[in-house]
């Protein structure tokens, strides 16, 4: 439980921990070249965020009552041809929860803790590898965000497991693979445009990723940097009907690390964390993910 005075409690109620953006970062795959016909990558993972502070709409960090977000999901890529992959992300269990809110004056419970469980928002899409020569590769990807989650869960509507809008994210990436000494290494960049509906602002997204393979090709160590900037062209107000800031005009820059270990040539386990080190209207705490994957090459 967390102690807040009435003023802090009222201030906290103006904000919501945002889920989908950090999840997008945590689903990054090492390398991400085209899979090849009949080949694929499949991952079962869990993602967790516990947040007691957030970036405000001015970029300052303010405290809030502790909230947690949890997802269990399946991610899959399958090569239809040597150049075309289909992609799917299905969060089949999503949970949003909040601690009891305790008055700092008399220790009474201001509001009971609460939790809400549901399905999350699905992403479906495809990637086309339009260039591959030597150590260079480039592709274009389209992802469709389907609003299968709940954007108004809980007693006050603030326990979101989805944003309630259908979006289309078009991106392109350029990658380079080589070796550092005898260790396989890759680096890649991506830029994209996220077209959002239901009055939400569109977004620019970009990022860098690099990976180094260690221990006789058994372990990948991956680092990544991601940026989201809002075009602020939506029609939604900053606050929803509950007086809470939701996922409109979100901006952030985040850094993440991931480790993926191959137990066999096809099966492995992974763990990662991502955290926004600057932003607006987003949690100011790291998220963590762990999973098991099947890589059919």
Write down the pLDDT at residue 56.
Answer: 86
Q: How distant, in Å, are the alpha carbons of 26, 50, 102, 211 from that of 78?
A: 19, 33, 49, 22
What CATH number should be reported for the domain holding residue 74? 2.40.128.130
Look up the domain containing 288 and give its range: 2-296
Write down the pLDDT at residue 238.
Answer: 55
- The whole-angstrom separation of Cα 211 and Cα 32 is 11
Write down the pLDDT at residue 156.
Answer: 82
The answer to whether 181 and 188 are in contact (CB under 8 A) is no
Q: Into how many domains does the chain fold?
A: 1
pTM: 0.86
For the chain, 297 residues long, the average pLDDT of each consecutive 10-residue run is 41 41 45 80 96 89 89 97 96 92 73 90 96 94 96 86 93 95 94 95 97 94 97 75 55 96 97 94 92 96
Neighbours of 190 (CB within 10 A): 20
Write down the pLDDT at residue 246.
Answer: 54
Write down the pLDDT at residue 105.
Answer: 77
Write down the pLDDT at residue 25.
Answer: 43
């Amino acid at each position: 439980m967390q102690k807040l005075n009435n003023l802090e409690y009222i201030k906290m109620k103006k904000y919501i921990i945002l889920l989908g953006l950090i999840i997008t970062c945590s689903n990054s795959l090492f390398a991400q070249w085209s899979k090849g016909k009949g080949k694929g990558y499949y991952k079962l993972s869990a993602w967790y965020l516990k947040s007691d502070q957030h970036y405000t709409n001015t970029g300052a960090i303010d405290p809030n009552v502790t909230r947690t977000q949890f997802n269990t999901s399946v991610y899959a890529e399958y090569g239809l041809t040597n150049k075309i992959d289909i992609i799917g992300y299905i969060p089949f269990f999503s949970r949003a929860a909040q601690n009891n809110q305790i008055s700092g004056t008399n220790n009474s419970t201001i509001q009971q803790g609460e939790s809400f469980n549901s399905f999350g928002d699905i992403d479906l899409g495809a990637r086309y590898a339009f260039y591959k020569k030597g150590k260079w590769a480039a592709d274009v990807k389209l992802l469709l965000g389907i609003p299968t989650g709940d954007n108004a869960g809980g007693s006050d509507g603030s326990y979101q497991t989805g944003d309630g809008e259908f979006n289309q994210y078009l991106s392109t990436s350029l990658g380079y693979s080589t070796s550092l000494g005898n260790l396989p290494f890759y680096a890649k960049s991506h830029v994209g445009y996220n077209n959002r509906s239901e009055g939400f602002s569109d977004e620019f997204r970009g990022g860098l990723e690099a990976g180094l393979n260690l221990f006789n090709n058994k372990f990948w160590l991956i680092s990544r940097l991601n940026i989201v900037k809002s075009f602020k062209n939506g029609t939604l107000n900053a606050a929803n009907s509950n007086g809470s800031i939701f996922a409109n005009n979100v901006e952030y820059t985040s850094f993440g690390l991931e480790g993926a270990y191959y137990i066999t040539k096809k099966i492995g386990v992974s763990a990662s964390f991502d955290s926004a080190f600057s932003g607006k209207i987003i949690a100011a705490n790291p998220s963590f993910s762990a999973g098991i994957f099947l890589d059919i090459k």
